[in-house]
């Protein structure tokens, strides 16, 4: 409510916030300065740019037909084991050109940005073979350079076991071939991956394979941030805490010991309300996690199973279905999500010196960003990244 006006200053070109406070105080402080643009925020709210801690946005081959199958009663794993699900998208992504993948990805990023996301985690994982994983990572790298939204990239080659391979063979391939290549490309400056992910699940990668892959990723400097305890209790949370992971995602089936271990290790929980909703899973125990001091973040999990770009919608679902308060949901979709990406020093809150990433909504009550569900176009007036208006 302190913001009656927002001053977007161009005193230096670094895109960082120069001052926070009452408009008249700030005006005095910068009285001699010329401003490129002044936005009158009377009657509006200024919030930190939203951070989406978990997305799978690069792929070809949507699965609208599987949505119908799921509505008719098929489970996620039944479809996966019958060769659909991730396998379906992998086949289409392997066959797509880099240009096709970039164009659809760009459009998806724009939709995320227009819904208020200013920093997004983006995974590979629909390639599985090295060639296609690299194609996806190149597409993400290109968007990092060219798009007006922040990206943290994640190598997720262990998203599924490729057809014709065992999980052990796939694990060996990742450790012996994929990760050394990523290290080489980082050194040459071609592709800079930030995080590593594994789908730790019964019938996909077991705890031991997950441990081997994550440890090898850690050895080449990647932050650990992986899928765990979603459909079956796997002790993924315990593993995440043990290995010093930044975060574990999903956690519908986490154990009590896993929650305690995550709190102690400051390993964040990335909760994904769209997926729990879409697949009618048991809801993760957000309340218990929060009460025990786990750092809880949110992600859209945008993917061909959970087709949702919108963090306001995600916050709404987190409040209604996971019993989070609106304050908790906003923290989970900003500063805590930035923590997951190792960026809470520079992103996720409105503080002097942090990157100028903001969302301005057309309501004097910030809670409208969560209270309203669907149709946020009329509510979000401006999205600002590094002090520049990128959507209005």
Residue 227 CB, shortest distance to Fe ion, in Å, is 6
Q: Which parts of 281-310 interact with Fe ion (CB under 5 A)? A: 301
3-state secondary structure of 108: helix
Provide CB contacts within 8 A for 117, sequence distance 6+: 49, 50, 51, 52, 149, 300, 309, 311
Q: Cβ closer to ligand NIG: 17 or 270?
A: 270
Residue 153 CB, shortest distance to ligand NIG, in Å, is 16
Distances (CA, A) of 236 to 95, 318, 390: 33, 22, 38
Provide CB contacts within 8 A for 96, sequence distance 6+: 60, 61
Q: Cβ closer to ligand NIG: 90 or 222?
A: 90
Residue 269 CB, shortest distance to ligand NIG, in Å, is 14
Residue 89 near which of ligand NIG, Fe ion, none (CB within 5-8 Å, type-dependent) = ligand NIG
3-state secondary structure of 237: helix
Residue nearest to ligand NIG (CB): 305
Q: Which of 197, 115, 104 is nearest to 153 (CA)?
A: 197
* Dist. CA 149–CA 50, nearest whole Å: 11
Residue nearest to Fe ion (CB): 301
- DSSP β-ladder status, 388-391 and 380-385: antiparallel
Contact residues: ligand NIG, CB under 6 A = 56, 85-86, 89, 199, 227, 230, 275, 301, 303-305
Q: Cβ closer to ligand NIG: 276 or 361?
A: 276
Question: What angle in degrees, to the nearest 10, is found between the helix axes of 236-243 and 256-265?
Answer: 20
Contact string (CB under 5 A) for Fe ion, positions 62-101, x = contact: ----------------------------------------
Q: Cβ closer to ligand NIG: 304 or 387?
A: 304
Residue 305 near which of ligand NIG, Fe ion, none (CB within 5-8 Å, type-dependent) = ligand NIG
Q: Which of 16, 21, 17 is nearest to 5 (CA)?
A: 21
Residue 54 CB, shortest distance to Fe ion, in Å, is 6
Residue 304 near which of Fe ion, ligand NIG, none (CB within 5-8 Å, type-dependent) = ligand NIG
Residues contributing to the site for Fe ion (CB under 5 A): 301
């Amino acid at each position: 409510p302190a913001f009656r006006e927002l001053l977007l200053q161009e005193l230096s070109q670094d895109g960082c916030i120069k001052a926070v406070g009452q408009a008249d105080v700030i005006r005095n402080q910068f009285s001699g300065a010329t401003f490129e643009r002044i936005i009158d925020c009377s009657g509006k709210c200024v919030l930190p740019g939203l951070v989406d801690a978990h997305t799978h946005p690069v792929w070809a081959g949507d699965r609208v037909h599987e949505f119908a199958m799921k509505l008719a009663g098929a489970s996620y794993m039944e479809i996966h084991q019958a060769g659909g699900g991730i396998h379906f998208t992998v086949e289409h992504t392997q066959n797509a050109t880099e240009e096709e993948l970039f164009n659809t990805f760009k459009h998806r990023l724009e939709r995320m940005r227009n819904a208020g996301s200013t920093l997004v985690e983006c995974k590979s994982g629909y390639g599985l073979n090295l060639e296609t994983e690299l194609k996806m990572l190149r597409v993400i790298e290109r968007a990092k350079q060219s798009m007006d939204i922040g990206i943290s990239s994640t190598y997720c080659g262990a998203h599924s076991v490729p057809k014709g391979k065992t999980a052990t063979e796939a694990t060996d391939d990742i450790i012996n071939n994929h990760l050394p290549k990523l290290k080489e490309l980082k050194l040459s400056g071609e592709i800079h991956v930030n995080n590593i992910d594994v789908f730790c699940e019964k019938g996909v990668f077991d705890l031991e394979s997950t441990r081997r892959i994550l440890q090898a990723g850690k050895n080449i400097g990647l932050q650990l941030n992986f899928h765990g305890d979603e459909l079956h209790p796997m002790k993924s949370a315990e593993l995440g805490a043990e290995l010093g992971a930044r975060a574990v995602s999903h956690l519908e089936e986490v154990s009590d010991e896993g929650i305690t271990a995550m709190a102690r290790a400051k390993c964040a929980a990335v909760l994904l309300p769209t997926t729990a909703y879409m697949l009618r899973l048991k809801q993760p125990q957000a309340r218990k996690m929060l009460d025990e001091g786990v750092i809880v973040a949110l992600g859209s999990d945008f993917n061909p199973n959970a087709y949702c770009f919108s963090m306001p919608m995600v916050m709404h679902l987190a409040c209604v279905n996971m019993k989070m308060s609106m304050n908790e949901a906003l923290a989970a979709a900003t500063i805590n999500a930035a923590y997951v990406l190792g960026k809470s020093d520079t992103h996720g809150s409105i503080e002097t010196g942090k990157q100028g990433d903001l969302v301005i909504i057309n309501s004097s009550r910030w809670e409208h960003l969560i209270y309203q569900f669907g149709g946020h176009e009329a509510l979000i007036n401006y999205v600002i990244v590094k002090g520049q208006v990128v959507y209005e």
